Chain A
Amino acid sequence: MDNVNILIIEDTTSESDRLVQVLTKNNYKVVGIVKTYKEALAAFYTSDVKIDIVIIDIFLNGIPDGITFAETINAVPGETKPFVFLTSSTDRQIFERAKLTQPFSYLIKPFNEFEILYAIEMAVEKFYAQNDVFLSGEEDTVISSEYLFIKKGKGLKKVHISEIIYIEVEEKYCNIITEKEKFVILISLVKILDLLNNTNFCRTHRNFIVNTEKIMEIIPADNLILLAGNYKATLSDKYKDLIKKVRTLT
C-alpha cells in the first residue's frame, strides 16, 4: 500500500507546520507546501508524484485565491482531484462561492487532528461519489479508476489497481493480493464488481476476481488459473465462458 499524496496550499507557516505534523503522523505524504495561487497551479500540474488530495486555505494573503484555485482545477474534469477548504471564517458569502466548486468539503480553523482526518475522508468520499463509506464502519474502501483508497488506522492508504493480481471474496471481506502484499478490505462484492467493470478484471469463480493482465496460465481441466507471483485462482464451470472472451496466454 502506498501513502496518499497531499498538496498543501497555505500561506501561514504555523498552520502548514501543524498540518504537516498531523498528516505525517497519520501516514499521509505531504508532497508540497505552496503559498500562492501561481505556485499552487505550478505544483499541481507539474508535480513529479501524483497528487491525490489538495488542502486549500481559502484566503491567501487576504484574498480568496484558494477558491480561484479550486475553480481552476475543476475546469478540467479529468485532471481535478479531491480537495478540502481551510478557513477561519464562516462568512456566508465566501461559503456560498466555495460551495459552487462541487464537491465541497471544508475545515474550520482551529481544527484538531480528528477534524482534519475526517475532512480528508469526506472529501475523498464525496469526490468519488461513494458517500458513507469510511464513516458507516461497514466498508473501508473507496474505489477510483486508478486506486483503491483504504482506511488504515486513522488515515487513508492507496493501492494501484493495476498492481492487484486477484481478489478473493469472503462475504463482506475481500482479500486483495498484490505482487508485494496481501491485505483485507471491507467492501461488498457487488460494489467491487461494479466499480471494476470496465477494467481488466474478470470473475472466475463465485469468490475470485482476477486481473487478466496477471494470468499466466489457465488449466481448465483442473479448474485452475495460474497467476503472476505463483498465485493460483479457481475457475468454476459457470465462469468458463467468460474466460474465452479474454485474451488467453499459453
Chain B
Amino acid sequence: MYRKIAILIFFLISCVTLAQKNNKLSVFFKAVELKSTDLEFVENLGEARLFFLKKQWDSTLIHAANQINKQVLDERENNYAHFFKAYSLYKKKLFEQANKEFDKVSETFDFYERVFLYKGKIRLEQRKFKQAILSYRNALEVIEKDAMVGVRKATIENNIGLCYLHLKQFEKADTYLSKSIEGLEKKGDTIKLINSYGNIATMYYDQLIDEKAIPYFKKAYNLSKYVVDLDVKRRVVKNMAVVEENRKDFAKALVYRKEYERWNDALNNQNRIYETAQLEKKIAVEQKQKQVTFLQAENKVKEEQKKVYLYSGVFLLFLLGILFSSYKGKVKRNKIITTQKENLDALNATKDKLFSIVSHDLRSSVHALKTSNSALSESLVTKNFNVLEGLLQTNSAIVNGAYNLLDNLLHWALLQTKQSYFEIASMRLFFIVEQVTHNYKPLLLEKNISFENKVLKSDVVYVDQESLKIILRNLVDNAIKFSNQNGAIKIYTRNKDAHIELVVEDTGLGMDEMTRLELLKETVLLSKKKNDGTIGTGLGLQLCKSMLKKNHGKLAIESELEKGTKMIVSLPKHLQNG
C-alpha cells in the first residue's frame, strides 16, 4: 500500500517537472539562441541549432550527428553538436546514449551546468538515484556560484531530496526537501510547493511517521485549492484519500475519493475538450491551409495573368513600332513615288510633245513628197522633162530629211531602252569623219558649200563607234541645214589634256545667246523652225547630248548671229573608268 502511494507521488513529481519545463524552458532556449547566433550558418550545426530551437528532435539529432561526423576540431562547435545530440536523445528517452553524449560535452561549453542538470534528470528517470544525486549536487554547486538560466535551486534540491527518498535515506531527503520547500515558499511557486509538500509527506509516510506526513499532505491539499491544474488537484486529493483510508477514517476518505473522482472526471472532460479543441484546431488549420493553397493558386494565376499582360503589352508595343515605322516608310516611299511620278509625267509630256512634233514633221514631209510625186507624174504625162530633175532632187532632199529624223528617232529609242550594242574602243577620228561626211557630199555640192576635214590622222579618241557616227551625222546635218549657199564647213580638232575637241564650224546663220543656252539645257525640245522647209525638232541635238554623256564627252557651242556656229564636242583621249 505504502509503496503504491510512493509510486503515485513520484509520478506526480515527474509530471509536474514536465509541466514546469514548458514554462521555464523557453528562457533557456532563448539563451541558447542568443549565445549561438554565430553558428547559424555553419553547415549541419546551423540546421541542428535551428531544429533544436524549433524542438524538432529527430531533425536536430540527424544534423547534430552529421556535424559530429565531420570531425571538426573547433571545440565550441563540437560542444554544441554533442549537446544538441544529447538533448535530443534525452528527449527521445534514449537515456543511456544521451548520458554518453552529455559526457562528451567539455567544460568549456556555454551551458555546461545544464549538462549536470540533465544528467541528473536522466539518472532520476533511470532510477539510478546515487548517480543522479551526484549530478544534481554538481549542478547545485554551479548554481550556488551563479544562477543557472531558467533553473531554480529549489527544484534541484527537491529532486535530490526525492532521490534520497527513494534510497530510503530519509534524513538527507528531509534536509533537501525542507530546503526546497524553504526556497519555494520564498518564491511562492505553488505547484512546486505542492510537489515538495507531497514529496516530503511521502517521505514521512514511508517512514511511517504519520503525524509528520499528514500535515504536509494537508498543506499540499490546501495549496492545491488555489491551483487550476486539475491533475495536481486530483493527485493531491487521491493522496489525501489514501491517507484517510489508511487512518480508517472512511467517511473522510470517501469525501476525498469523491473529490478525486470529480477532478478525474473534470480532467477527463478537460482532456476531451482539449482533444475536441485540438480536432477543431486541426480542422481550422486544414481549412486555413486550404485557403492558403487556394490563395497561392490564385496568386499564381494572377502572376501568370500579369505575365501574359506584360508580354502582350510588349508585343503590342513592338507591333505598334513596326506599324509606325512601316507607316513612316510608306509615307517616305509615297513621297518618292510622288516625285518620281511628277518626273515621269513631265517626261511623258515631253515624249508626247516629241511624238506630235515628229509625226507632224513626218506628215508634212510625206505630204510634200506626195505633191511632188503628183507633179512628177504630171510632168511625165505632159512630157515636160525639163522639170523632172529638179523635182527628183526635191524628192530626195525631203526623203533624206525624213530618213535622218527617223534614224535619230530609232537611236533615241534604242538609247532609252539600252538595247543597242555599245563598246568603247579607240577610234581614229579622221576616218570616222570621212565616212560620215561621205554621205553628205551631194548635199554640200547642191548648196555649193565648201567642206574641209582637217582632223589629223593621229587623233585617237575612245568612244563607241556608232555613237560617234550618230553625233557627227547630226552636227554635219545641222551645219549644212543652217548654212547658206556658198558657205563653208570645216571640221578640225583641238588637242586638250585629257580630251580632244572636235569642232564642226560653219559660216551659217548662227544663233543668239538664248537659243544657245536653250540648246545646252537638258530635255528641251525645240519646235521652232528657223529654216523653212527643213525639219528641226531638236531631237538630233538632244540625242547628241545623251550619246555624249554615255561616252564621257561634252558638248559646247560657240556662235554668232549671221556669222556662223562652232559645235564643239570634247571626247576622251583615254579609256575612262567605268
Contact = CB atoms under 8 A, between A and B. Distances in A.
B431 A135 contact: yes
Contacts of B438: 112-115
A91 B214 CA distance: 143
Instruction: Give chain A's interface residue range (CB within 8 Å of chain B).
Output: 10 to 19
Contacts of A137: 457-458
Contacts of A14: none
B421 A91 contact: yes
Interface string A96-132: 1000000000001000111100100000000000000
A231 interface: no
A112 B434 CA distance: 10
Given A91-B419, A92-B419, A115 B458 contact: no
Interface string B49-85: 0000000000000000000000000000000000000
Contacts of B434: 114
A94 B438 CA distance: 28
A90 B414 contact: yes
B421 A136 contact: no
Contact of B466 (A91, A96, A108): A108
Interface in A169-200: none
Interface string A67-106: 0000000000000000000000011101110000000000
A90 B431 contact: no
A136 B420 contact: no
B439 interface: yes
A94 B435 CA distance: 24
Which interface residue of B428, B434, B435, B458 has the most chain A CB atoms within 10 A? B435
B421 A92 contact: yes
Instruction: Give chain B's interface residue range (CB within 8 Å of chain A).
Output: 10 to 19
A113 B439 CA distance: 9
A136 B435 contact: no
Interface string B162-194: 000000000000000000000000000000000
B458 A136 contact: yes
B435 A95 contact: no
A90 B420 contact: yes
A90 B419 CA distance: 8
Contacts of A108: 466
Contacts of A96: 421
A90 B414 CA distance: 9
A172 to B, nearest CB: 15
Contacts of B439: 112
Contact of A90 (B421, B435, B457, B458): B421
B435 A118 contact: yes
Contact of A135 (B419, B421, B457): B457
B435 A114 contact: yes
B24 to A, nearest CB: 112
Interface string B98-131: 0000000000000000000000000000000000
Given A90-B466, A135-B457, A115 B421 contact: no
Nearest to A91: B419
Contacts of B466: 90, 108
Nearest to A115: B435
A208 B419 CA distance: 55
B457 A136 contact: yes
A9 B335 CA distance: 57
B570 to A, nearest CB: 22
Contacts of B457: 135-137
B459 to A, nearest CB: 11
Given A90-B466, A137-B457, A112 B420 contact: no
Contacts of B435: 112, 114-115, 118
Interface in A204-226: none
Nearest to B434: A114
Interface in B290-311: none
Contacts of A114: 431, 434-435, 438
A90 B457 CA distance: 27
Nearest to A131: B426
Contacts of A113: 438
Contacts of B458: 136-137
Interface string B403-417: 000000000001000
Interface in B419-462: 419-422, 428, 431, 434-435, 438-439, 457-458
A92 B435 CA distance: 23
Contacts of A118: 431, 435
Nearest to B437: A114
Nearest to B440: A112
Interface in B310-337: none
B420 A92 contact: yes
Contacts of A95: 421
A187 to B, nearest CB: 17
Contacts of A91: 419-421
A135 B414 contact: no
A112 B458 CA distance: 23
Interface string A45-77: 000000000000000000000000000000000
Contacts of B428: 135-136
A90 B435 CA distance: 18
Interface string A133-160: 0011100000000000000000000000
Nearest to B403: A110
Contacts of A136: 428, 457-458
Contacts of A115: 435, 438
A113 B438 CA distance: 8
Q: Lowest 9 A-B CB distances belong to which pairs?
A: A95-B421, A114-B435, A90-B420, A137-B457, A114-B438, A112-B438, A135-B428, A115-B435, A90-B421
27 contacts: A90-B414, A90-B419, A90-B421, A91-B420, A91-B421, A92-B418, A92-B420, A92-B421, A92-B422, A94-B421, A95-B421, A96-B421, A108-B466, A112-B435, A112-B439, A114-B431, A114-B434, A114-B435, A114-B438, A115-B435, A118-B431, A118-B435, A135-B428, A135-B431, A136-B457, A136-B458, A137-B458
Given A135-B428, A136-B428, 11 more contacts: A90-B421, A108-B466, A112-B435, A112-B439, A113-B438, A114-B435, A114-B438, A115-B435, A135-B431, A136-B457, A136-B458
